[in-house]
Amino acid sequence: MNAEQTIRPSSRVQAWFAARTPWQRRGIAAVAGAVATLGHAPFQLTLFFIAAIVLLVWLLDVSATKERKLRSAFSIGWFFGLGHLVTGLYWVAAAFNVDSDAWGPIWGIPATLALATGLALYFGIGAALAMLLWTKDVRRIAVFAVAFFVSEWLRGHVFGGFPWLMPAYVWTPGEPISQLASLVGAYGLTLLTLLVAAAPAAIADSGQSASWRFAPVLGAALAVGMAWGWGAQHIAGAPTEPPGARPIVRVADSGLGQAEKWQNRPDQEWRVLQRYLEASGEPSDDNADTIIVWPEGAIPVINFFMLENPDFMSALGHGLGDRVLITGLTRREPRANGVAYFNSAAVIDGVNGEARISQTYDKNHLVPFGEYIPLWDLVGNLNIAPLQRIGAGFEAGAPPTRLVVPGAPTAVVLICYEAIFPDMTPRGEGRPGWIVMVTNDAWFGGGSGPYQHYAMARYRAIEEGLPFARAASGGISAIVDAYGRQVAATSARVEYAEAQLPPALSETPYARWGSIVLLVLFVLIAALRFLPAGKSGPGGSGL
């Protein structure tokens, strides 16, 4: 009799999973991962995410009975991650279809599968870490939450990080529970979400007393209720300011798809400029104080770079009038060994029909393979080009800092990918009065990608207690308050959104003490693993 046969599952549920073949359990894990995706935008079906996590815990219970439990757990975690990431990141393939001459649709599917396959390793690592301290009783709920939190933190930081679809984001931004991000950030909320989602798995533990089995789910329900109550009270205390106390902001989009925007025509830049000016409205005395925001890379680089063309800048100035424009653009800079290219944003002050460049920001956190090729010196000879098709790609700029915006509080600009990372916004003395986000979500296609990106961006407002204006080409352009609530947004029929800039809050506890609060929370939850085991129920066995 081998070691696997000597260990009996502790419940009928676990016995059912144990009776499945290894490949059947892996298939169940992959399906559970796909179900977990329904917890994220645009669906926000949190209960589906919780159900998926419960299934994952029960599958890991079976892995804990195996002789090679680390290998079994890693496999289950990897398949769960694969199902989750393939269904959550399928839209990545759309980016390869934009420039079909260079890439073609044939590359989109394998590239997306490769990305999901690689990122799923973190889920496997989380499952294997959990096995190191796994128990047969309710304490494994804390073990699961801590282990998968570690893997999520690694996924968000290693090799530049890709913290997409973090568990925290299953709570709709702007609603009460999401407000916990102002205390513990998205990573802290991820840890708490994993703990809450795994709690119902303990109900099936027939080897424990009823009070011990139901304690986690009751505790989770109480925690969610308290979080909801606190979040609702937090939102109810939102400050109000009299009309006219803050500037009007208009976020505008050209309404052009990615392929249409990049048509190779001699007048293409001018055509796109005209579309943006139409969405921005005619300059007048009534809107002279309006701040306009255009998306990332608003004007394509077909025949020239906009900052280098005096005629183009003159036309832009006449279209702006006396208004201020914050726009994404591509710029270049001569170097001794060639030319450096930057994915940038600029504050352009319109004065009497003349466009004056006030300040620029060069994107700091670039997208690997999308904006630059890692280890370019080694792979350059393979003729691999980034999706942006700018030489060897863009160069990274310095971290974001405050920019002076005439007629408005100082702002920090986050460009596309940067908005998915907590902690990009300066704090302390460098804290801005609002956040400007410029992005090109047209790369994501018409699926769930733009909605996921927008939901994550709204968490940055909650974490920092700052409002933001977001201009998204092909996505959702919106103005959001410091609680992550949408104030105004574009729709299929309207290519701009306009509203008074919402007020900023005081620096949030997370912005002030984020790392310390997260560390304390991690230690407290990890300590639950070392509490005494619960008593056995009638006819059951203890730990």
Residues involved in catalysis: 296, 363, 416
Beta strand 248-252 with 291-293 is parallel
- Could you give the C-alpha distances from 94 to 44, 102, 118, 234, in angstroms and in order? 23, 14, 19, 39
Please report, as a single letter, which amino acid is at residue 478.
A
Structure tokens at 7: 């260990």
Q: What angle do CA 431, 432, 434 make, to 5 degrees?
A: 135
> CB under 8 Å to 278, separation ≥6 — which residues?
none
Identify whether the C-beta of residue 138 lies closer than 8 Å to the C-beta of residue 202: yes
d(CA 273, CA 473): 13
What proportions of the chain, in percent to the nearest 5, are helix, strand and coil?
Answer: 50, 15, 35
Assign 358 to helix, strand or coil: strand
DSSP code string of 429-477: GG--SEEEEEEEGGGGTTSSHHHHHHHHHHHHHHHHT--EEEEEETS--
Cβ atoms within 10 Å, residue 237: 8
- Could you give the C-alpha distances from 370 to 45, 385, 388, in angstroms and in order? 30, 9, 6
d(CA 393, CA 387): 9
To 10 degrees, what angle do helices 181-198 and 509-527 make?
Answer: 30
Identify whether the C-beta of residue 299 lies closer than 8 Å to the C-beta of residue 269: yes
**Residue 275 zone, left/alpha/beta (φ > 0; ψ -120 to 50; rest):** alpha
Q: What is the DSSP letter of 376?
A: H
Tell which residue, 131, 134, 140, has the closest CA to residue 212: 140
